[in-house]
A and B are shown apart, each in its own frame.
Chain A
Amino acid sequence: MSAFIQAKLPYLLSGISVGGQYALIAIGYTMVYGILRLINFAHGDVFMVAGLLMVYLTTAMPMYLSIPLVVAVTVALGFTIERVAYKPLRSAPRMSVMISAIGVSYLLQNCALYFTGGLAQIYPAIPWLSDSVTIGGATTKIVTLVTPVLTVALVFALVLFIQKTKIGMAMRAVSRDFETSQLMGIKINSVISMTFVIGCFLAAVGSLLYFTNYPSVVPTSGAMPGLKAFVAAVFGGIGSIPGAVIGAFIIGICENIIKGLGSNWTVFSDAFTFVLLIIILLVKPTGIFGEKATDKV
């Protein structure tokens, strides 16, 4: 029994850790979808860009400067994307905005390809986070243990922010009814920008944690985690922050359990996420914590 646990524990641990990282990305998806009804396909690529920024900035400056700078630049990138690519299309059909998001994703990936020259960039070891630690006979990095704690702390802070502050209240109002909140004098553009800023901040933190577990960053690194985080957001009920977090943990853990089943099944670890998506869309399209507003036209 203990041998079994020893063999399977690493998968469970990394599942929890990956789940936390997906959760940080998923919040960005769920908040943007809640407000703009837009699947922000570029969010996964913003996450990848944060990873690449870390690679480049650590070669130029010490770690204590580069980490805040990575977060700041990622936030600025998210803000710019919203202003340039989504804001002009606010009155356009929803599909045009989605196509624009796909275009931004394509642009970010190609820019990354250009700057990296197509080579995988070695991710720097962050002191302390990258150190190894042994639990119950399983060796893992400290980041694996830090991620769930940090995720829960950040989510708690975010929920407080949304419940207690004025801009948080504005966000809730906008996600409930876009037009009416505009009529009530809410500055819709600043609320939307704030949503992107928060989403990208969390994606940047997520990328610091996620890539510490992986040796390198490539231009397509963001695509899969991005899609999975979106599925997590749908699973938890789109627009709901606790839902996205729980969905992300479930997906992260299940995916790693499948990886632990044996090499024959590893191929399905990505596909499983989508099976889960299709099941939830068919059984309960609003997700676990989704609001049951069906008569919206």
Chain B
Amino acid sequence: MEKTLKKDPAQKAGTAIAACLIAALYIFLILLDNVLPANSFTLMLIPVLKKGAIYSLICVSMNLLNGFTGLFSLGQAGFLLVGAYTYAIFSIPADQHAAVYQYFDGGAVGFSIPEALGKALGENAGNFLGAVVCIIIAGLVAAAFAALIGIPVLRLKSDYLAIATLGFAEIIRAIFQWNGLGPVTNGSNMLRKYTNFSAIKIGDIKLATAFPFFISMICIALIVLLIHSSYGRAFKAVRDDEVAAEAMGISLFKHKMLSFVISSFFAGVGGALLAMYQTTIQASAFKSAMTYEILLIVVIGGIGSVSGSCIASFLYIACNEWWLRFLDSGSFFGLSVPFFRDGFRKVVFSVLIMVIVLFFSRGIMGDRELSFAGLLRRHKKKAASGAEGGGQA
């Protein structure tokens, strides 16, 4: 089956188109950071692109769990928090520790990975590699937390699992806010001054927008490879029918655990990128409302569709931060509308979400994937049926 697909000309053309588009995208992103002038358009576009890329990864990681393994987990905010904090803790420069950990005598960590690498390799290379190393550590720590939580929690079913993971996310938040761990986590105060996107450069080329795309794309590609592997098929089998999957020799606990840990690893990576984007982080922001928001994006994109989650993330972020801003500003094409004031955008948004949940419960993509090969094939089919004079849609 795989071989016949590979020989398919549409598949080949699709891969070529995708590769060209990705190359064009990176060229555009690098131009955006370095050459294009900063005007009101790019000032809105850049944050939307960055945040959209980060949310894509976070949503795909949640989709791996909820959509592909059928584990309805609501603990995503907790793993984002772990990732964000781990990243920040290891990348605050040593000389900034006194300022950041002002209530905890400069904290207990006392070193910074980007700085240490910077001394050996030069500042730019240090920042780049240091950020990558810290991001990986962030993912690993989040995965370790998930492995611990998974042992008790994954035995539970559907909504009990949801509420237990939600509970663990709250417990994680409380632990990170606890003053007893203050020398490491800075208690309930914010962490800042760590390496953010603006420090990521190669030579003189700034990569502030390309970097989150780069990391997200690698991670999403890894998730897609996983979904297409034998493990991914086992996940889907567990999702569709646990009893049947177990009868076919799939170890339920092992695969649920694998999915949970991997999803949390990528959530941790997403959390680290979110920390880089925000430049300051505070544990109190990672509430269950954040998990709900991510879940709703996954639902908009289609539960069980990676490309759907990515499309929905960019759409959601663009609408939320840019296109629907006029709803909050009090005027619409020069007309002043009295009920267009702060917060109206969110109301419109939540009504839209309810409409999608109630009437279009499959979301944008359902459980299909967007592929250029598929589009080409459909286009060819349409052309062919058009030539034959058949009116079939």
Contacts and interface: CB of A to CB of B under 8 A. Distances in A.
Contacts of A264: 178-180
A268 B174 contact: yes
Contacts, number: 126
Interface string A194-231: 00000000000000000000000000100100010011
A110 B289 CA distance: 11
A163 interface: no
B342 A106 contact: no
Interface residue tally of chain B, by bracket? 35 or more
25 contacts: A85-B354, A88-B358, A89-B358, A92-B361, A94-B159, A95-B158, A96-B361, A102-B292, A106-B296, A113-B346, A114-B347, A223-B287, A234-B160, A234-B163, A264-B180, A268-B174, A271-B173, A274-B168, A274-B170, A275-B171, A277-B164, A278-B152, A278-B164, A281-B160, A281-B164
Interface residue tally of chain A, by bracket? 35 or more
Given A118-B342, A285-B156, A274 B354 contact: no
A94 B177 contact: no
B316 to A, nearest CB: 12
Nearest to B355: A103
A117 B156 CA distance: 40
A271 B342 CA distance: 32
Interface in A247-268: 264, 267-268
A107 B177 contact: no
Given A88-B358, A103-B353, A270 B170 contact: yes
Given A94-B159, A278-B164, A110 B174 contact: no
A39 interface: yes
A153 interface: no
A133 interface: no
Interface in B155-185: 155-156, 158-160, 162-164, 166-168, 170-171, 173-175, 177-180
A271 B171 contact: yes
A278 B159 contact: no
Interface of B: 72, 152-153, 155-156, 158-160, 162-164, 166-168, 170-171, 173-175, 177-180, 188, 287-289, 292-293, 295-296, 299, 341-344, 346-347, 349-351, 353-354, 357-358, 361
Nearest to B293: A106
Contacts of A106: 289, 292-293, 296, 350, 353
Nearest to B188: A267
A114 B344 contact: yes
A73 interface: no
B166 A227 contact: yes
A104 B160 contact: no
A278 B153 contact: yes
